[in-house]
Structure 1
Amino acid sequence: MTAVAVAAVAAAAVGAVALPASASSADHHHPGRARAAVYISQVRYDSPGRDDRSNWSLNQEWVDITNSTRRAVNLNGWTLRDGDGHAYTFRYLRLDGRSTVRVHTGVGRDSRRDLFQDRRAYVWNNDSDTATLRNDRGRFVDDVSWGRHGRGHRH
């Protein structure tokens, strides 16, 4: 397990995500706008090292979804989509209160803290993209953009 993954698990255990932003991630805090109960808390859109499409590299590309409330939220049917229309649909996930789930691009075994899109190609563009979270009724919940839209920009 990488140091970043260990830090994320430890942070989630205490109910907060406190990961440092890096050159290949977007950490999103937006003053002046009330934070949604469930929101995109961090995106790593450029996995470290060479983009060789190995499963390890694909799984180093991820999006963190955080529930800031005390109550669990049923994410069944929610979607996470990129700017090109690639979509991941959450299935059978009840996100506990004050916890975070990490959605990896590659193949793996789903758990309460890590989900896998089971893709064999990258989803998030390194130069610019937008991650959009919608609920089971298709209603906008949150989004995060990077690159030409401005790093960490929220719509």
Structure 2
Amino acid sequence: MSGREVRMVDITEKPAVYREATARGYIRLKPETLQAIIEGRVPKGDVLNVARTAAILAVKRTWETLPLCHPIPITSVSVDFNLDERGVEAVVTVKTTAQTGVEMEALTGVSIALLTIWDMVKALEKDERGQYPHTIIQEIRVLEKVKGEQNRV
């Protein structure tokens, strides 16, 4: 072990500027589970609305989960879902005007959205042995990062 000190990056002198990050991730599910989501037949309720709410809450609390992440004012969060024959894609965009970026917030939002989907459909995803052979969370990544007004779309 190096014994190096652990500390937050000092952003005191950095100016607050517009920042935006978009992250995405994917959860593979059984076709029957996807159909149950579409038809509103999941016993725990409306999967996508609960996952959207969970993602927004996670974004706003990222600094409480990641030890060296700064608390920053979140000015906007959008959460979108795209369903295909293999699963659900979650896309989270976070905006702020702050001294540091929002990539970790966007990644946290996507991660929690996908975990929430898994939690809500796990009874439908289990096989006869109680395992999850088809359920996979994958491809969580930052799609885009914007810093400053000049880059704003």
Q: TM-score higher than 0.5 here?
A: no
Larger helix proportion of the pair: 2
TM-score by length of 2: 0.27
Structure with greater contact order relative to length (CA < 8 Å, sep ≥ 6): 2
> TM-score, with normalisation over the residues of structure 1?
0.27
**Structure whose CA Rg is larger:** 2
